[in-house]
A and B are shown apart, each in its own frame.
Chain A
Amino acid sequence: MSALVIETHGLRKEFRSRRGEMRVAVRDLDLAVPGGGVHGFLGPNGSGKTTTIRMLLGLAQASRGTMALFGEPVPGRLPSVMHRIGAVVESPKFSPMFTGRQNLALLARSIGQPESRVDAALETVSLAGREDDRYKAYSLGMKQRLAIAATLLKDPELLILDEPTNGLDPAGIREIRDTIRELGERGVTVLLSSHILAEVQQVCDSATIIGHGRMLASGSVEELIGTSTTYRVRLADGTAGAETLRAVGMAVRAEADHLVVDTDSPPDLITRTLADRGLYVAELTPVRADLESVFLELTGDSTLGAGPDLGKQADQ
């Protein structure tokens, strides 16, 4: 088995719009998700995230390219690996007139799991006590939690979550993120698709960034953001401070009333170096790069989170 849990090569999805125009939702995407941890799948709405996930799960056909899950080519060998995969694609989709328990019981039966599994899954997502309410009476957060409970029926090795915190209140978001982190720590590989940069940065160990159906960057979150940190340093004698720091190998740029120091060293080295020369720091503020700046740099796009969702249109 490949060490990669998810692999795509030259994956492409074209569709014809209602006006007959050919549009490309996913453009020759090469995706590689290693086993273990939480992997972010980051891109603005319409970048092709959902379409990619739907192709991986056999819900949409690829126009071109190859895909593999756990080293097995899909969709051909999807039935042999599906029992290892839990997925929530877009919004949760259950029968509205059935209770939460009934919905899960039907899915559990389809994979030969006992009823006790349903109780355990409901317990895990804190829906015990509301399991006999009709699905249509659930809040959005409860629906999301039920969808996650459905994925847990399989005891998945790979969990694919597409925008799982969409529409949730802050408490619900925190709850879902905690659950995802917990699952990642338990050894489940989680592919978290999101257009929320902070979410990926908080929850994920690694990430792939896509835009307009193409892969823009991939790696650990640290790699993507970069290891060096920038500090804003203010002190009485800026010129002397800049010379002192440059002398120990730090990159320093003088601004109007402060210095911008770019270094891999810890901040206490800056204060100690300056203090040794009798220069005392009035302000030292870390200015870390984040995924947002990385993303904007990669795409030159300021439309993050806006614009038409091409990926979703492709599915219709």
Chain B
Amino acid sequence: MELTRLRWRRAVVVLLAGCLLLPAVLWAGLAWNTRPFSEADVREAQAQLDQELAQPYIDREIRRCTRNPQDYGLQDAPDVEEACGVALGPQLDWFLYRPQLDVAEQERGTGLGVVTVLVALVLLLGTTFAGHDWNSGSMSNQLLFEPRRLRLWVAKAAAVLLTGLVVGALVLAAFWAGVWLLAESRDVQGTAAAWASIRGSVLRAVPLVALAGVGGYALTMFFRSTVATLGVMFAVTVAGNLLVAALLGDGSSRWLLPVNVAAYLFDGVEYYDPGRCTNPVVECDPTSMLSLTAGGTYLLVLLVAAVVLSVWSFRRRDVP
């Protein structure tokens, strides 16, 4: 029943359409930006290369290298002149600027973009779903038919969760299927390890998307207003990182929301941790590793706090 209520909401339909369209746009952008070079592209690059090779300083530099290859570390090259030409002269691919499709890179590139879009839209979906009931006053009417508040809260949360799971799974599966097709068509298949890593991050992204919706729903059930929830989220986004940094100083990165999301999604993440390098004389790596478990626990604690607060408030407070 709550799924029907959710489905009938126009704002929800718009957000669901966004969940389909925006990833499709991102995929199309990826396909276009990494399209193979056409003959015209190669011709244009060749013209630029020829123009560059005609510059006298290049010829001068190559001759200098041929005379003293040891200055360039090429003294052992079988053909010194050719080696100097390759090392110092411009190459064709310098003028072919467009990156080519790399499947492994997309996990933290466009793939992350798709997850971000889905998280944001499903969070809004959960928010607007609950906010509408409060804004229209229909929550009290619903309670006159189902007075068990916990049951009503859970039914609505389940509708948001289920929608988030289905949307997340379908859209991410479709997006990566699209990337696979693109890679196949261009004969640039990713490695088995890359696909395994992508599979893992997708499996973690689907519950992240769904639980973001539940989080938005829970907060709105607490604040009883879409605007208030969005305002708080905006404030947290803008001021949250600053506040964490101000309170925790050098060790703050570990507690930043984006770092923890990345740790959860990508099975651990390296983050900047200047606290590790206290002795300026000793060389050290100022990064630490945040594990999937640590990131996931952080996110789970936030969600549980929002849910507990929301349920407690809904059960205790008078309903207008």
Chain A residues proximal to chain B, CB less than 8 Å: 54, 57-61, 75, 78-79, 82, 85, 87, 89, 91-98, 102-103, 106-107, 109-111, 150, 154, 315-316
Contact = CB atoms under 8 A, between A and B. Distances in A.
8 closest Cβ pairs, A-B complex:
A93-B137, A60-B318, A109-B1, A78-B147, A110-B145, A59-B319, A58-B147, A93-B141
Interface in B121-167: 132-133, 136-138, 140-148
Contact of B143 (A59, A91, A150, A315): A59
A54 B147 CA distance: 12
A111 B145 contact: yes
The interface residues of chain B, by DSSP majority, are classed as helix
B8 A87 contact: no
The interface residues of chain A, by DSSP majority, are classed as loop
Contacts of B4: 106, 109
B64 interface: no
A12 to B, nearest CB: 14
Nearest to B132: A95
A60 B320 CA distance: 8
Contacts of A316: 320
A61 B147 CA distance: 13
Interface in B82-113: none
A79 B144 CA distance: 10
A57 B318 contact: no
16 contacts: A59-B140, A59-B144, A61-B316, A82-B145, A87-B144, A91-B137, A92-B141, A93-B141, A94-B136, A94-B138, A95-B9, A97-B9, A102-B8, A106-B5, A107-B145, A110-B146
B51 to A, nearest CB: 63
Contacts of A154: 145
B10 interface: yes
Contact of A58 (B133, B136, B143, B316): B143
Given A82-B146, A93-B138, A94-B141, 14 more contacts: A57-B143, A58-B147, A59-B140, A60-B319, A78-B147, A82-B144, A85-B144, A93-B137, A95-B136, A95-B138, A97-B10, A107-B142, A109-B4, A150-B141
Contacts of A89: 140, 144
A90 to B, nearest CB: 9
A106 B136 contact: no
